[in-house]
Amino acid sequence: MAQWKNYFVKYASLIDDHFDELVTNFKKRLGGFKPLQIVAYRSYGTASSLYIKGRVLQDKKIAAAGDKDTVLSNLLNMYKRFETDEVPGAVVQAIVAEETFDVTTDKEGYFVLKIATKQPIEEATLWHSIPLQIMDAPIPYEKEITAQAEIMIPPPDAEYGIISDIDDTIIRTGATDLLAMSRTTFLHNARTRLPFAGVSEFYRSLQLGRNGKRNNPFFYVSSSPWNLYDLLKDFLDLNDIPEGPLLLRDFGLNQIPEDGGGHMGHKLKEIEQILQAYPHLNFVLVGDSGQKDPAIYREVVTKFPGRILAIYIRDVQLADREKIAVEISQSMLEHNVEMIIVDNTVEAATHAANTGLIFKAAIPAIEKEKEADKGQSPGKEDATLT
């Protein structure tokens, strides 16, 4: 079955590539290209190396989210996100400490730069801005098309890092119910999708830690497609949830997972790369019982012994998923790691305070925000982690 699937994906990808080529040639004749843009994704690095990722697209002018946007408006913006006009073969240049680095976009318009710098980057601040510019493209474009890549470099005195899932961990998505997930994804925007009760206060407490410097780095690893990047980034910012690299997934037809893949393969690979990038930093993992987070986190604990301080899993209230999570949590005790399965934010915060990850004084504020959040929307139930 897997072999037939790979054949199908391969030939569907070839058809898609030929169609894209025909459309591009047609637009060249008629001059139907839209202005180009660089979409730079939040990423991470160290004082001596940076990981920069982004995409070059034709700009479809996706409207900023509003509180009173109609369903039709949200659907139109979502259509624009997925019906992308990518620009393959564009040359993007990054400038890091007066050094220049060029990279060419692939057939889906993506570019990735893994840079080893000659001079160490100043670590005094958590975030660093790297200038990007299009130097060449296979289609007509205006000069001086630029963007800024936001790169997070955890400082040496960070206490620990936090790796968090997004869907059904921070935001109610209904990933275990295809209809519910589709309705949430396509009919709402960054302002009308609300976080689980208490998420921002709890995450800010983890970011603050116990040293009071608010410099513990966050990483968000999700199987959501890169097409939703702007929506998820705006959602985090609007809800005052700590900024962090968003590590999403390409759903293009040409993507055949080499690791056997899908949801588990993608997330495990991204988490492993984060832990390898920061060998002297321990981590807290946050996820939910709805998909495979407990199994993924078990693999992480096994591969990186002594690196995981605690795991928090939100119970999505499905008996079979809860049973699996409980069984995995029991096996984690052999590795001296607690995987805590909780119904709400306060339970997770209480454990974090008792184990010295956050201040106990933070709990009343988390309780208060949890109650306030529940009052904002009937969709916010009490059985939530974050």
Chain segment 59-78, per-residue pLDDT in tens: 777 666 666 656 666 566 66
The two tokens of residue 302 are: 């096994």
Given this model, what pLDDT does residue 7 score? 41
Element (H, E) at 37: strand 36-45
Q: How far apart are CA 69 and CA 194, in angstroms?
A: 15
Among the listed ranges 50-54, 315-319, 345-349, which one has the minimum average pLDDT value?
Answer: 315-319
Q: Do 271 and 161 form a contact (C-beta atoms < 8 A)? A: no
Residue 385's pLDDT band (cuts 50, 70, 90) = very low
| pLDDT on residue 257 | 45
Residues of the chain above pLDDT 70, percent = 73
Query: Each residue of 1-27: pLDDT tens digit?
Result: 444 444 433 433 444 444 445 444 444
Is pLDDT above 50 for 175? no
Mean pLDDT, rounded, of the chain: 80
144: left (phi over 0), alpha (psi -120 to 50) or beta: left
What are the chain's domains?
33-152 (2.60.40), 161-376 (3.40.50.1000)
Helices assigned H by DSSP within 240-362:
262-277, 293-303, 319-332, 345-354
Per-residue burial over 208-240, b if 16 or more Cβ lie within 10 Å, else e, is bbeeeeebbbbbbbbbbebbbbbbbbbbbeebe
**pLDDT per position as a tens digit, 245-287:** 999 998 754 544 444 455 688 999 999 999 999 999 999 999 9
| Higher local confidence (pLDDT), 21 or 361 | 361
Amino acid identity for residue 111 in this structure: F
The per-residue pLDDT for 168 is 79
